[in-house]
Amino acid sequence: MLPDETMLPDDTARLRAAAAFVREHDSTTLLPLLLPGIDGPDLRTLAERCRFAHAGTLLFPPDAQSLRAQLDACGLAADTPSHPSVVVRDRLARRHRRDPAELDVRILRPQVPGAAGERRAVEVFALTVPPHSALEPIAAYERTRRHEAHLAFEIERPDPLVLRGLCATLARHGARPDGGGYNPHENGTVLYFTTPADSSCGYRRLELYAHGDHRGALADHLGHQAERQPAETLLHLLTGAWTTQALASFARLRLPDAMDTRTACRTEDLARLTGTHPRGLDTLLRYLVMLGAVAHDAGPGPQEGFRLTALGALLRTDEPASMRPLALMYGGPFYRSFGGLDHAVRTGLPAFDHLFGENHFDHFARDPELADLFDRSMAASARMFRPLPAHPAVTAAARASAPATVVDVAGGNGELLGQVLTAHPGLRGILLERPHAVEAARRLLDSAGCGARCAYRAGDFADVPSGGDVYLLSRVLHDWDDDRCREILRHCARAMPAHADLLIVERLLPADGSPSLATAWDLHMLCNVGGRERTAAHYARLLADAGLDLRGHAPLPLDAHVLHARKAPPRP
């Protein structure tokens, strides 16, 4: 039997275990493990019609060379050809609400002979996840949940009647439809099932593969799935608030700071270190295992315990890219305001103002600790800034013969400006912000070694400094309605010389309605500040009203974009 893949240390170990499993089993031995109680004519029919073809596993190599090295380490052909996996790509996109175009999922089938030389394979789905990329949370989640791990049976001599009969037989023995699709790259139809809860096999998903286009049978299969799954899907959605609070509690209790990504810690020891109740802590940690923030090592004796995953480590206080402030914010003030979402939807006014008696910015400004938390939560998304210093407008300013100036309007604690000045030692900076934020930015930029090249101005949008070469507006416009945005943009336009560039960092609502983080943030802005996310075309109209031209936009990490604008040429 295959050990639980979630307990295996890395992708290479999972791949090696899958190859060993394929060598050891055949249809006759596997089917009773997957479908307890099947015997007699049904077992003979399935075994005769369905040839055990492969075990499937999803891997997350940082690049193609690493994937080849993993294959070679497991005794599999490193030069196995690959092609796009439409089915798994679309499943991942739906599960994680991502644009399918972001997910380059490849499929490879390195050959693994059976015990008697039968033709079999390991089906490898490979989603390239570069280190520190926005895809890392997907990898952490999928390694824990193993949604794509499955055993596949290829149907001999498929036809519509045979397909429907086999699906009915599986259903009688407790298998449930779980998606599928047609892959035009290889002209094959895939039908997925989940196996019964009392299955004694390490795999919980079963695939029927039929060569050719069988989309009629596929439609029937997916129709059954739709009938059975809405209640389960809705239940998962309704418990989303539990996820927010579990992660926020994890951060508030500083549990990630007491844990390690390499060595497991027993619940009792961790409870003693953190002043928590052992049973309560164990319950929280097991829920966090499902979320991919924690891994459970079930080794004997002292090896048993919990350890951090790469995802959970993002909630450590000392993590350079720590997202702990975001967890505290989303599990704190913003979580409370979402309890009044119905007020925002009924009135169009922020629920935050309704619950707290004042707007978001005034409330935070009156509480220094809360203001600091908000500024740090904004900085926690700083990874979206990483490509910005290489933007052509910034690099052109850095190459100018005279020292150029970058003006960061409402620049928070200076995280973005610091990245730009650090990347280009010849640039100077000016940061415009509220007084308390100016002091925080001064400390950060001094510690980054670029404070001597930066000036500070405490003020409002009406105080945008003139004469700069590049102006930055990062996650500012989405806080405001259209009238206020036009006003802010006019202040920028008045301050900008004719040659200056304006770079706006925002999430863009997709014009085609495809899944995007911007859609979620649009609801967040409605509920908390009364602002909104917008499409690129919407921003173009606002810029035009302020005398600015949108020259283009480019993607950034975390579903953000940078919009590039300049002053519109004078009309003749």
CATH number at residue 419: 3.40.50.150
H helices present in 295-401, as ranges: 310-313, 324-330, 333-338, 341-347, 351-356, 360-365, 368-379, 392-398
Q: Contacts by 194-198 with C-beta closer than 8 Å and gap 24+?
A: 195/34, 195/35, 196/35, 196/36, 198/36
pLDDT band for position 572 (cuts 50, 70, 90):
low
Residue 373 in any domain: the answer is no
Asked if 71 and 194 sit in the same domain, the reply is: yes
pLDDT score recorded for residue 85: 86
Instruction: Quick: pLDDT tens for 357-391.
Output: 998 888 887 888 887 788 778 766 666 678 899 99
Residue 442 in any domain: the answer is yes
Instruction: Quick: pLDDT tens for 2-22.
Output: 434 444 457 888 899 899 999
Asked if 132 and 44 sit in the same domain, the reply is: yes
Asked if 210 and 294 sit in the same domain, the reply is: no
CATH classification of the domain holding 215: 3.10.180.10
In the set 54, 478, 524, 553, the catalytic residue is 478
Return the ∠ at Cα 19 (arms to 16 and 25), rounded to 5°. 140
Cα-Cα-Cα-Cα dihedral of 490, 491, 497, 499, to 10°?
A: -50
pTM beyond 0.85: no
pLDDT score recorded for residue 1: 39
Is 83 one of the annotated active-site residues of the chain? no
Instruction: Quick: pLDDT tens for 80-126.
Output: 998 888 878 888 888 887 878 788 899 999 999 988 888 899 999 99
Q: How would you label 456-470 residue by residue, b for 16+ Cβ within 10 Å and e otherwise?
A: beeeebeebbeebbb
Q: Contacts by 340-344 with C-beta closer than 8 Å and gap 24+?
A: 340/527, 341/523, 341/527, 344/526, 344/527
Asked if 233 and 248 sit in the same domain, the reply is: no
- Per the structure, the complete domain to which residue 218 belongs is given by 5-237
Asked if 212 and 250 sit in the same domain, the reply is: no
Task: Kindly report the backbone phi and psi dihedral angles of residue 148, in degrees, each rounded to the nearest multiple of 5, phi listed first.
Answer: -95, -5
Residue 173 in any domain: the answer is yes
Asked if 156 and 281 sit in the same domain, the reply is: no
Of 5, 23, 21, 24, the C-alpha closest to 13 is 5
Contacts of 357 (CB under 8 A, 6+ apart): none
- Asked if 270 contacts 281 with a C-beta cutoff of 8 angstroms, the reply is yes
Give the residue-averaged pLDDT of 452-457.
96
Residue 347 in any domain: the answer is no
Does the structure show a pLDDT above 80 at 571? no
pLDDT score recorded for residue 303: 63
Q: Would you give the end-to-end CA distance of the chain in angstroms?
A: 79
Asked if 561 and 437 sit in the same domain, the reply is: yes
Task: Kindly report the backbone phi and psi dihedral angles of residue 412, in degrees, each rounded to the nearest multiple of 5, phi listed first.
Answer: 60, -135
Residue 375 in any domain: the answer is no
- Asked if 323 contacts 558 with a C-beta cutoff of 8 angstroms, the reply is no
Please count the CA atoms within 13 angstroms of the CA of 492 that sit on its side-chain side: 36
- Asked if 416 contacts 379 with a C-beta cutoff of 8 angstroms, the reply is no
Asked if 97 and 159 sit in the same domain, the reply is: yes
Share above pLDDT 70 across residues of the chain, in percent, rounded to a whole number: 94
Asked if 151 and 294 sit in the same domain, the reply is: no
Residue 328 in any domain: the answer is no
Describe the chain by its helix, strand, coil percentages, rounded to 5: 50, 20, 35
Instruction: Quick: pLDDT tens for 430-446.
Output: 999 988 789 889 998 99
Last residue of one domain, picked from the residues 204, 237, 270: 237
Residue 176 in any domain: the answer is yes
In angstroms, the Cα distances linking 136 to 131, 142, 291, 515 are: 8, 10, 13, 18
Residue 355 in any domain: the answer is no
- Asked if 508 contacts 561 with a C-beta cutoff of 8 angstroms, the reply is yes
Does the structure show a pLDDT above 60 at 447? yes
Share above pLDDT 90 across residues of the chain, in percent, rounded to a whole number: 49
How many beta carbons lie within 10 A of that of residue 400, not counting itself?
12
Asked if 201 and 277 sit in the same domain, the reply is: no
Instruction: Quick: pLDDT tens for 501-528.
Output: 999 999 999 887 766 788 889 999 999 9
Instruction: Quick: pLDDT tens for 394-444.
Output: 999 999 989 999 999 999 889 899 999 999 999 999 999 988 789 889 998
Last residue of one domain, picked from the residues 217, 237, 257: 237
> What is the number of structural domains in the chain?
3
Separation of CA 370 from chain center: 27
Asked if 314 and 176 sit in the same domain, the reply is: no
Last residue of one domain, picked from the residues 192, 217, 237: 237
Asked if 86 and 196 sit in the same domain, the reply is: yes
